[in-house]
Structure 1
Amino acid sequence: MIYKLFKTPEWQALKADGTTLGAPIDRDDGYIHFSTADQVAETAAKHFAQAEGLWLIGVEDAAVADNLRWEESRGGAKFPHLYAPLRMDQVAWAQPLPLVDGAHDFPAGLT
């Protein structure tokens, strides 16, 4: 499972359109940034600190495997990058990511 953080308008656009090229930074970089379970909380803290209205999107990496590359990024860690639009039918689940006491409250058991 890989994870994407979307702001509410980005998530709503994916649901309405059925496909997305991601957030503005994704479009600028030419791929959609994802994180693993071990990386996603740090991604939220680094890029979305104090942001309200986030959504945590879970995608089975097998569903996007043909266009997924694992590339070095922050601290030399390999991050999953999707070099194709993300389709709504590839989203396994989505849930709001509330801000609690200044930090995003991730669900237990992310794998």
Structure 2
Amino acid sequence: MEIKIRDVDVRAVKVLDEEAKKQKVSRNVLLKRMVEDAVKFDGIKFAEKELDVTVSRVADGLEMTFKRLNHLEKRTLHLYLILCDALGLNPEEADHILDKAFPMDNKEGK
């Protein structure tokens, strides 16, 4: 596709010609590269913004999940202690009984 630009300042054209000469390309090739690079850069900036939004949403979801799991863990502990009290068991004895009946690998590092 062809693009024409009119009424460009002479000094700007001279600067472009000098840069084209440094890069050993024509003015047309230089301008083509500059336009295409600008479009690519805008595309990259847009993709970065989308990525930031996505990462932020994922972080919010992880934080909410952590809070819910933490709350669930506390509620489960409360129910466990209430059950031990209702059955007349010491929680340490109940832990020992459960560990013998249902051995589990402890992956928390405790």
- TM-score category, normalised to shorter length: under 0.3
More RCO (CA 8 Å, sep 6+): 1
In our comparison, the structure showing a higher alpha carbon Rg is: 2
TM-score by length of 1: 0.19
Report which of the two has the higher share of strand: 1
